[in-house]
Amino acid sequence: MTKPLTPAETVRSFIQCFNQNRLEDALEYLAEDVFYHNIPLEPIVGREATRAFMAEFDLGNSLRAEWEILALATDGETVLTERIDKFYRAGGPREGIPLMGSFRVQDGKITVWRDYFDLTAFQNMVVLHTPRT
């Protein structure tokens, strides 16, 4: 019998999937009714809505992610991450923004995911405006 992942292990595995360009595997860590909120933007509810949001940027296809965890802390079901989230396209520059992430993990699934970051810095990333290949 496999031992269930701790909340910290769940979040680390979730982020590792993004770093390995395994978007569908990452999304499996989310509860069906996940509450996903990039704090400067409107909240998103549901795994499918989260998938659609990421598809707008072509994340997992022409846009790749590399999320570096600088620090991680847990308190019960809550996992806090300090990260540098970098994005890039093949042959292009890696651009990153610092952010804080907060996750709630219940029964092995991420039920709440909030990222706090500077929206202007995110919007100014050239990689997000580079045409898809």
* 23, HSE (Cβ side, Cα atoms, 13 Å): 17
Place of tokens 């709440």: 112
Q: Please check whether residue 55 lies inside any domain of the structure.
A: yes
pTM (2 decimals)? 0.90
Residue 1 within a domain: no
Provide the domain count of the chain. 1
| 85 catalytic per annotation | yes
Of 25, 58, 107, 115, catalytic: 115
- Tell me if 74 sits within 8 A of 81, measured CB to CB: no
> Of all residues in the chain, what percent carry a pLDDT higher than 90?
71
Instruction: Look at residue 84 in the predicted model and tell me its pLDDT.
Output: 97
- Summarised one tens digit per residue, pLDDT across range 25-39 is 999 999 999 999 999
Does the residue 120 lie in any domain?
A: yes
What's the pLDDT band for 95 if we cut at 50, 70, 90? Answer: confident
Domain limits for position 31: 7-129
The predicted pLDDT at position 13 comes to 98
In the structure encoding, which two tokens stand for residue 117, read together?
A: 């970051």
Identify whether 107 is part of a domain.
Answer: yes
Read off the tokens for 62: 């022409």
What CATH number is attached to the domain comprising 47? 3.10.450.50
Q: Which of 25, 85, 107, 118 is catalytic?
A: 85
